[in-house]
Each structure stands twice: as structure tokens, then as C-alpha cells.
Amino acid sequence: MTESTTPFEPQGTPSSPLSFPKYGSFWERFAAILIDIIILAVAGQFISRIFASPSPEEIREIMEGEGLGSALRASYFSTASKMTLLMQWLYFSLMHSSSWQATLGKRALGLKVTGMNGQRITFINATGRYFASYISTIILLIGYLMMLWDDKNQTLHDKLAKTLVVKSK
């Protein structure tokens, strides 16, 4: 399977205007992530109830708060946290590297994630972008706000992963 590359170079003929990519705005990206958060919250509740929920005996021990109950409670929350991280990583990385090049939220708003030349990104690149988003978050969200003064509306994790968020055609 070969990936097509469509460089983001000005294209046009003498009789037609040059075309440049239109970058996703702050508010479009914000709305897209809200949609994704809702989707992930619903999916997370469903998955954690199926795979990480304690048995009725474990629930009784947790509720009583005795000895083993606190260990089970810690184990349950640890498992749920790991599953949440795994689910979020796969959701963002698989969707951004798919032929859609977008999560459901970005797709709903007509956005897609590309490489710097407009090409589809790889799963490895999407994984790096996902984990780099934690850096954008832990520095008081400044990594996200960077897009407000960047000419290509890139966040810190976009810059680190060498990606763009552009309007779909």
C-alpha cells in the first residue's frame, strides 16, 4: 500500500489563483476534542464495566473497606487507568493514521491530520503525536495555546510530530 503525497506547495495555473491549505482553527479543534472526549468517556465506561469491573465479592470487600478490599480497590483503579490510556492512545493513533486521517471529532468538523507535505501520517508518527500532547498539557496547556500565534496553527505536539491539522476538501 503506497501513500500518496500531495505537497502543500502553492498550486495553480496562470488563469487560476494559488491554493494553500486551510488550517484548522482553535475553536474547530477545541470542538473536535470535546466530541472525542465524549466518545472516549462513553466507550471508557463501557469497556471498564466489561473488562475491569470487580466481581460481586470484590465489590462487597471494597465497600466494607477491610484489608483486601483496599488492595482490590487500588488494583481496580490501576487497571482502569491503564485501560483508559491504552484506549485513548489507540483511538487517536489509529484514527489519525487511518485513511480518514481524523478522529470522529475532527471528521465531524471537517478536519484532518497530515504530515508537513499533506501526506497521511504513519501509526508511529501518530503515536508520537499522541504522547507529545501530554507535554502540551502538562505545561499548563501552553502547548495548545501556541497555535494562536503560529502561522500554521500548530500546537507544540504538532511541531514535535511534524504534523498539521487542515480542513478536509
pLDDT for 7 beyond 50? yes
Do the beta carbons of residue 153 and residue 87 sit within 8 Å? Answer: no
- Measuring CA to CA, which residue among 52, 169, 59 is closest to residue 118? 169
Q: Is residue 19 part of a domain?
A: no
Query: Whole-prediction pTM value?
Result: 0.76
Q: Is residue 15 part of a domain?
A: no
The pLDDT value given to residue 47: 74
**pLDDT band at residue 81, thresholds of 50, 70 and 90?**
confident
The pLDDT value given to residue 11: 47
pLDDT tens for each residue of 58-71: 666 666 665 555 56
Q: Is residue 4 part of a domain?
A: no
Q: Is residue 6 part of a domain?
A: no
Do the beta carbons of residue 163 and residue 117 sit within 8 Å? Answer: no
The pLDDT value given to residue 66: 57
Q: Is residue 82 part of a domain?
A: yes
pLDDT for 41 beyond 50? yes
**pLDDT band at residue 8, thresholds of 50, 70 and 90?**
low
5-10's contacts with Cβ under 8 Å and 24+ in sequence apart are: 5/115, 5/117, 5/118, 5/119, 6/117, 6/118, 6/119, 7/117, 7/118, 8/114, 8/116, 8/117, 8/118, 8/164
CA angle (62 as vertex; 38, 50 as ends), nearest 5: 40
Q: State the DSSP code for 137.
A: H
- Measuring CA to CA, which residue among 104, 155, 105, 166 is closest to residue 130? 155
Q: Is residue 21 part of a domain?
A: no
Q: Is residue 13 part of a domain?
A: no
Side-chain-facing half-sphere of 145: CA atoms under 13 Å: 6
Compute the mean pLDDT over every residue in the chain, rounded to the nearest whole number: 83
Do the beta carbons of residue 96 and residue 88 sit within 8 Å? Answer: no
How far apart, in Å, are the Cα atoms of 14 and each of 8, 19, 116?
18, 12, 26
If one counts the domains in the chain, the total is: 1
> Between 16 and 92, where is the model more confident?
92
What's the residue count for the chain?
Answer: 169
User: Can you give the residue range of the structural domain that contains 50?
Assistant: 26-167
